[in-house]
Amino acid sequence: MTVRRRVLVLAAAFVVLAAAGVFSVLHASARAERRDHVQGVGPRVSAGAVSLAGGGPARMVFRNMAWGPHRDELSSVPASDPGGPRTASGVKCLRFYAASGTGVCLQAVRGAVSDTYRALVLDSRLRTVRRYDVPGIPSRARVSPSGHLVAWTAFVGGDSYAGTDFSTRAEIADVRTGELIASLESFRVVLGGKPYHAADVNFWGVTFAGDDRTFYATLATKGRTHLVRGDLRTRTVTAVHDNVECPSLSPDGLRVAYKKRVAGLPADAPWRLYVLDLRTMRETPLAETRSVDDQAVWAAADTLVYALPGDFGADLHRVPADGSGRPERIAASAVSPAFLG
Partner 1 sequence: MYVADSRASVDGAVRPAVAGRRRAALAPTVLALGSVSLITDVSSEMVTAVLPLYLVGGLGLSPLGFGLLDGIYNGFSAVVRLAGGHLADRGGGRHKWVAGAGYGLSALCKPLLLVVHTLTPIGLVLALDRTGKGLRTAPRDALISLSSAPEARGRAFGVHRAMDTAGALMGPLAAFLILRATVDGYDAVFTVSFCVAVLGVLVLVLFVPGGKGDRQLPSERPTLAAALGLLRGREVRRVAVCALLLGLATVSDSFVFLLLQRRLGVPDRWFALLPLGTAAAFLLLAVALGRLADRVGRWNVFLGGHAALLAAYLLLLGPWRGTALPYVVLALHGCFYAATDGVLMAAASAGVPEALRSSGLAVVQTGQALARFACSLLFGAAWTVWGDRAALAGAVGALVVGAAFALVLRPRDGREVVS
Binding positions for partner 1, rule: CB under 8 A: 1, 6, 9-10, 13-14, 17-18, 20-21, 24-25, 27-29, 31-32, 35, 94, 110, 113-116, 133, 135-137, 139, 155-166, 168-169, 197-200, 202, 220, 223, 266-269, 293, 309, 313-314
Beta carbon nearer to partner 1, 166 or 178: 166
Residues 6 or more apart in contact with residue 118 via CB below 8 angstroms: 106, 107, 109, 131, 132, 133, 134
**Taking the complex as a whole, how short is the minimal distance between the CB of residue 30 and partner 1, in angstroms?**
8
Give the integer Cα–Cα distance in Å for 295 and 205: 7
Give the integer Cα–Cα distance in Å for 68 and 32: 10
Coil, strand or helix at 17: helix
**Taking the complex as a whole, how short is the minimal distance between the CB of residue 155 and partner 1, in angstroms?**
6
Beta carbon nearer to partner 1, 85 or 158: 158
**Taking the complex as a whole, how short is the minimal distance between the CB of residue 197 and partner 1, in angstroms?**
7
Beta carbon nearer to partner 1, 129 or 182: 182
Coil, strand or helix at 310: strand
Coil, strand or helix at 27: helix
Beta carbon nearer to partner 1, 107 or 144: 107
End-to-end CA separation in angstroms for the chain: 77
**Taking the complex as a whole, how short is the minimal distance between the CB of residue 263 and partner 1, in angstroms?**
14
Among 181, 183, 151, 156, residue whose Cα is nearest residue 167: 156
Beta carbon nearer to partner 1, 26 or 41: 26
Beta carbon nearer to partner 1, 41 or 113: 113
**Taking the complex as a whole, how short is the minimal distance between the CB of residue 324 and partner 1, in angstroms?**
28
Among 297, 141, 166, 267, residue whose Cα is nearest residue 220: 166
**Taking the complex as a whole, how short is the minimal distance between the CB of residue 10 and partner 1, in angstroms?**
6
Give the integer Cα–Cα distance in Å for 185 and 214: 16
